[in-house]
Copies of this chain bind each other. A is one copy, B any other.
Amino acid sequence: MGVAFNGFSPSGNVTGEPVYVNYGRVEDFDELEALGVNVSGKICLSRYGKIFRGNKVWNAQQRGAVGVILYLDPVEVALEGTDPEHVYPKTWWMPETAMQRGSVFTGDGDPLTPGYPSVEGAYRYAMKDTLLPKIPSQPIGYGDARNILSLLSGQPAPTNWSGGFNITLHLGPGFAGDDSDKRIRLQVYNKFNQTVNYNVIGYIRGDIEPDRYVILGNHRDAWGFGAVDPSSGTAEMLEVSRILGKLHKNGWKPRRTLVFCSWAAEEYGLIGSTEWVEDKLPQLMDRTVAYVNSDVCASGTKFQVAASPLLASVVQEMTRYVEDPGSPEKSVYDTWKDYHSDGMGDEKEPRVRTLSSGSDHSPFAFYAGIPSIDISWVVDKKIYPIATYPAYHTAYETFDLMSRLIDPKFIYHQSCSRLNGLLLHRLSGSLLLPYNLTTYGEELQMAFHSLEEKGILEKLEDQGISLGLLKETIDNFTKTATEWHKHTKETDLDNPLMVRQVNDQMMLVERTFIKPTGLPEQPLKRNIAFAPSKYDSYSSHGFPAIHDLSYGIDNLSDEDKHARWEEIKLHISDLTVALRQAKAVLDRNFYL
């Protein structure tokens, strides 16, 4: 369990001067360049955090680096000190040998079969023609990282790059003083194997609408013991399927079909779920009501939901029926709401975030346009300002860690099971689908607003590109969406076909945001309303392609800049058309 490596890093034996690259983001590399530090031919030292590790390696590769060394910064994993008294097994913080493993592949699914299922007889691309990283990378502990970083030459790192070592960091390239002729040699020994992986799928057949699916999924593979990721979710999924199975044995029949999926190879680029979605795409897009993902169920005390805006309301509602594991006299809903309103009794519903990638809901939400939910209890950033639980993907994700230090009474596991169980029960049972279209409109409005906030709107207007029609179309959709729920209240619930028709219309809304050819440079991300950024799979954006396309545009040559602006105009047109279509599918008379 202690073997540390990056999934999909090629083997390699490279030598070069070290450069410290902070988080390895595009802006970090830009800053280095501005400071006169070139990483070409160098080995990059990057701390984990902020963005998906695969993007760090990709960025380094794009700039000509020959290798990447990744480490956990004590500021993320050892907040109370790095001495043995303050790290695992005494606390949940990590010792200096802890290494975060993980895939560095920036694509989705089997790298050899992009966009189609990796089944028998399917075409396989040659490795060289894939998105797999070409340069080796390797995770190390912060003990080793400190040893290297403390010897670096060059100018001091910017102050906000300093991290958790109590030393002044230098950028390099290369080592200082007597060590200036020294280099780093990075030797990576990985084996690429093609293996058969198995998803395990279970069903409770729908009684009335067996051809409508509500899916719960969790992955089975782990980096080591995986007590948190994915086993906290696995425990939950097993519990939910046990309970619903028991109900079923006692005579309960869901209206719609429940599907339970145990995914393989999530840690290698969401392979199990992605290939399954690609294989079952026509049925899934035609028939799926919702996908509920369960990966890290319990890693902290703060409740967090990311979901399609369509599903925000049903999550909010169901949280009212589950007691809060931290304070059982309150509901999850109350605690969640209080957390954000600081107990001030804010009138608004607690916020459901839009989805980022990084787990198996990704192919459902971003490739197939299926409304998805991802629920977890995470680290409370008001208490610990860290990105995720310290043991994430390390060898210390043990049952001991979970049962002594994270969720000793397994009460977070319990609440998670209750909540997902209720969601599945409601989604599979309610006559009308518990979608909220109004929320979709609101999120689109917020997405538009964020273009304003980030100054993108102004930039576009400087180019004579108006977003007026896009805004108008969002407004029209929002209006129709709001009126829709008045309309559905008049649905004759005794007429099974009428109920089905109304539900089918609602199901079509999210599908209209799927652009068949995908987002620019992200062919397997096809949701043009909400998706992760190209530069960070862990992020979430409204209108992601506008963000991606306008990113770094000022640094382009005049010709490239012109082409990019045209691409942006075309994409705004695509968005406007999709929103127009999303409104049109809700026509009450089904007129075209």
A positions within 8 Å CB-CB of B: 116-117, 119-123, 201, 203, 205-206, 208-211, 213, 257, 259, 276, 279-284, 286-287, 469, 496-497, 500-501, 504-505, 508, 511-512, 516-517, 569-570, 572-574, 576-577, 580-582, 584-585, 589-592
Closest to A512 in B: B282
A592-B501 CB under 8 A given contacts A121-B469, A576-B121: no
A574-B116 CB under 8 A given contacts A497-B496, A592-B280: yes
What residues of B have a CB within 8 angstroms of the CB of A592 in the complex?
201, 213, 259, 276, 280, 283-284
Q: Measured between alpha carbons, how far is A516 from B115 in the docked complex, in Å?
A: 10
B590 x A501 contact (CB < 8 A): no
Q: Measured between alpha carbons, how far is A590 from B284 in the docked complex, in Å?
A: 11
Q: Measured between alpha carbons, how far is A516 from B573 in the docked complex, in Å?
A: 19
A501 x B213 contact (CB < 8 A): no
7 new A-B contacts, CB < 8 A, other than A116-B574, A259-B592, A279-B581, are A117-B577, A119-B577, A121-B576, A122-B573, A213-B592, A283-B592, A516-B517
B508 x A577 contact (CB < 8 A): no
A585 x B283 contact (CB < 8 A): yes
What residues of B have a CB within 8 angstroms of the CB of A117 in the complex?
577
B211 x A501 contact (CB < 8 A): yes
What residues of B have a CB within 8 angstroms of the CB of A286 in the complex?
286, 504, 508, 511, 585
Q: Which 8 A-B pairs have the closest CB atoms?
A: A516-B516, A123-B573, A121-B469, A123-B570, A282-B512, A211-B590, A211-B501, A280-B592
B122 x A577 contact (CB < 8 A): yes
The one of B504, B570, B580 that contacts A119, using a Cβ cutoff of 8 Å? B580
What residues of B have a CB within 8 angstroms of the CB of A259 in the complex?
592
B283 x A210 contact (CB < 8 A): no
What residues of B have a CB within 8 angstroms of the CB of A284 in the complex?
592
Q: Which of A201, A496, A516 has the most CB of B within 10 A?
A: A516
Closest to A517 in B: B517
Q: Which of A208, A286, A585, A590 has the most CB of B within 10 A?
A: A590
What residues of B have a CB within 8 angstroms of the CB of A500 in the complex?
497, 500
Q: How far is the CB of A448 from chain B (nearest CB, A)?
A: 15
B573 x A121 contact (CB < 8 A): yes
A469 x B577 contact (CB < 8 A): no
Q: Measured between alpha carbons, how far is A362 from B580 in the docked complex, in Å?
A: 24
Closest to A581 in B: B282
A584-B280 CB under 8 A given contacts A205-B589, A257-B590, A573-B116: yes
Closest to A212 in B: B590
A122 x B209 contact (CB < 8 A): no
A116-B577 CB under 8 A given contacts A283-B508, A504-B286: yes
What residues of B have a CB within 8 angstroms of the CB of A208 in the complex?
497
The one of B121, B206, B211, B276 that contacts A505, using a Cβ cutoff of 8 Å? B211
What residues of B have a CB within 8 angstroms of the CB of A203 in the complex?
591
B508 x A585 contact (CB < 8 A): no
A590 x B279 contact (CB < 8 A): no
What residues of B have a CB within 8 angstroms of the CB of A282 in the complex?
508, 511-512, 581-582, 584-585
A283 x B584 contact (CB < 8 A): yes
Q: Measured between alpha carbons, how far is A131 from B205 in the docked complex, in Å?
A: 50
Closest to A206 in B: B590
Closest to A515 in B: B516
29 residue pairs of the A-B complex, CB under 8 angstroms, read A117-B577, A119-B580, A121-B469, A122-B576, A123-B572, A123-B574, A208-B497, A210-B501, A257-B590, A276-B592, A279-B577, A280-B581, A280-B584, A281-B581, A282-B508, A282-B511, A282-B581, A282-B582, A283-B508, A283-B584, A283-B585, A283-B590, A284-B592, A286-B504, A286-B508, A286-B511, A496-B496, A497-B500, A500-B500
Q: How far is the CB of A330 from chain B (nearest CB, A)?
A: 39
Q: How far is the CB of A131 from chain B (nearest CB, A)?
A: 16
What residues of B have a CB within 8 angstroms of the CB of A257 in the complex?
590
Closest to A208 in B: B497
Closest to A287 in B: B590
What residues of B have a CB within 8 angstroms of the CB of A123 in the complex?
569-570, 572-574
Q: Measured between alpha carbons, how far is A577 from B259 in the docked complex, in Å?
A: 23
What residues of B have a CB within 8 angstroms of the CB of A581 in the complex?
279-283
